[in-house]
């Protein structure tokens, strides 16, 4: 088969997939998974959120984000607070944020926050760390249906305004 004939057989020429999707092995259009990995530590000692990782978001699109990694605080009074920003007027935002906050005899204490609605989560997880300078895990899942405005979805962190929050290099998020 020629390249053009093979492409037509697999649906690339017949217009079955859009510019933002690809034809997968099952012969259906799928959205590619985009992965962003922190190349260096993210730090913030401020109570003002700043962006850890962000992704471009198309208008009228539904995306699922999954982030995970390791975090630590310089003092037990500090914490890993989470906030999300994005394009105006999302039609749905469902989120689940879990983080280890302490550990006793290799048994972690997990804090779990979740919510849903038509606005982005803000000021989540502002609870003092049980351990200082210790690697603790975190996990975030967000499903967002965007409105008619394209933009950027940003996952942000903050601390208590005095003590340094660190998200360790290698922590990552995927967008699908």
Tell me the whole-structure pTM to 2 decimals. Answer: 0.81
Is the pLDDT score of 12 beyond 50?
A: no
Give the closest residue to 118 by CA, choosing from 157, 88, 156: 88
Reduce the secondary structure of 144-171 to three states and give it as a string: EECCCCCEEEEEEEECCCCCCEEECCCC
Give the closest residue to 83 by CA, choosing from 36, 111, 120, 55: 120
pLDDT in tens, 104-160: 888 888 999 999 999 999 999 888 888 899 999 999 999 999 999 999 999 999 999
């Amino acid at each position: 088969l020629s390249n053009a004939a093979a492409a037509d057989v697999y649906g690339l020429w017949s217009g079955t997939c859009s510019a933002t999707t690809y034809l997968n092995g099952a012969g259906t259009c799928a959205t590619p998974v985009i992965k962003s990995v922190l190349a260096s530590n993210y730090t913030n000692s401020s109570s003002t959120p700043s962006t850890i990782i962000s992704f471009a978001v198309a208008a009228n699109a539904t995306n699922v984000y999954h982030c995970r990694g390791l975090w630590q605080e310089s003092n037990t009074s500090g914490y890993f607070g989470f906030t999300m920003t994005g394009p105006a007027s999302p039609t749905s935002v469902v989120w689940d944020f879990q983080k280890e906050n302490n550990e006793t005899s290799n048994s972690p204490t997990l804090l779990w926050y979740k919510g849903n609605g038509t606005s982005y989560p803000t000021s989540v997880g502002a609870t003092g760390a049980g351990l200082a300078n210790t690697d603790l895990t975190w996990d975030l899942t967000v499903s967002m249906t965007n409105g008619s405005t394209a933009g950027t979805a940003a996952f942000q962190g903050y601390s208590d305004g005095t003590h340094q929050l660190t998200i360790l290099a290698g922590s990552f998020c995927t967008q699908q």
